[in-house]
Amino acid sequence: MTSPSRLKPHEPPPARLRILIVGPTGLAGVDEEARRVEALMAARGHQTRCLLAARESWGGGPFPGDADLVVVLGGDGSILRTARWMGYDQVPVLGVNLGALGFLADFSRQEVERALDEIAAGRFRLVEHLLLECELLRGGRGLQRELGLNEVAILAGPPFSMIEIQLHVDAELATTYRADGLIVSTPVGSTAYNLSAGGPIVRKDLDAFVFTPLNPHTLTNRTVIDSASRVYELCVPRPNAGSACMVDGRVIAELAAGDSIRIRRAAPRFALVETQNHGYYRTLREKLAWGGMRAEAATPRAAARGHEGS
């Protein structure tokens, strides 16, 4: 599914961009940065609109989908909330890091002005990422459906004994996990909860799901990577009293005996803007210290590579 936005790579962007600025109030620097970006774009003749909200009321209304670009101020959590808010009407995102790590929110506030000028000049890439669709089934009926950018996690919860999770692939039983839980991650989410649990890093523009069990009680249960073209169903015959399903760090439901979680590739794609000075491997080096490189050591090398692609 293509983005409804008019902003497309390798094509001249509209002379007057429609830019939506979003971010969480209460996070240091968000209000100030929103005013600065708004003034920068207005001075260049672009149309801007600013929607800031507290975290607890994020996405409380319908998302205004008539933008060419969404500038997200905050951190990776802000981007996850924005992706969920956009739902099935995704618009390209430029993430500005005002938080801690900023793996998805990759641009610093010092880089924003140049990045927006690069976008207006058509010198950018749109990297589309897999979104997952998660549906809770109870008694064969669909109760709840959620979009996720990072992962779905089934957690055993209190009283903190292991649970069984049956994995079906295209309606065929694949395996049964006996563990503290299971993470089903997208490639974007492979560097989040999945990575912390010992799972692999998967390049974020691939179409795949990563299955990482949490503390499995068998030596044969290891991370598996499989195609996103299949439909996966996680069945929990006997959950604990506190067992739950989480999507992108949010509990969406407590689990009852026999519940199933159906996971498939969602129709829309999440699109993240990259400019010529930003790329995937630079982000791995600088944000995750990949290969033991510190950010300050990696930056000069990245700058020396000039305009090479990711």
Which pLDDT score is estimated for 85? 93
Distance between CA 224 and CA 279 in Å, rounded?
26
Bridge partners, residue 260, by sequence: 137, 235
Q: Which positions are catalytic?
A: 76
| 104 contacts 272 by C-beta, under 8 angstroms | yes
The Cα-based distances of 305 to 21, 278, 297 in angstroms read: 31, 11, 14
What SS3 state is found at 33? helix
Task: Report residue 112: phi and psi, to 5°.
Answer: -65, -50
Residues of the chain falling short of pLDDT 50: 1-5, 294-310
Which pLDDT score is estimated for 58? 72
Which pLDDT score is estimated for 13? 74
The Cα-based distances of 130 to 156, 243, 279 in angstroms read: 26, 27, 18
Which pLDDT score is estimated for 300? 33
Distance from the Cα of residue 42 to its chain's centroid: 29
Sign of the torsion formed by the C-alpha atoms of 146, 151, 152 and 158: negative
The Cα-based distances of 113 to 38, 55, 276 in angstroms read: 11, 26, 14
CATH 3.40.50.10330 residue ranges of the chain are 18-122
Which pLDDT score is estimated for 149? 97
Give kind and range of the element (H or E) at residue 172: strand 172-179
* Residue 27 CB partners (closer than 8 Å, separation 6+): 73, 74, 75, 78, 98, 99
pTM: 0.86
Angle at 58 between CA 232 and CA 19, to 5 degrees: 100
Q: Which CATH number fits domain 130-267: 3.40.50.20, 2.70.70.10, 2.60.200.30, 3.40.50.300?
A: 2.60.200.30
Superfamily of domain 18-122: Probable inorganic polyphosphate/atp-NAD kinase; domain 1 (3.40.50.10330)
CATH 2.60.200.30 residue ranges of the chain are 130-267
| Buried-state track 169-182, b at ≥16 Cβ within 10 A, e below 16 | beeeebeebebbbb
Which pLDDT score is estimated for 308? 25
Distance between CA 64 and CA 85 in Å, rounded?
10
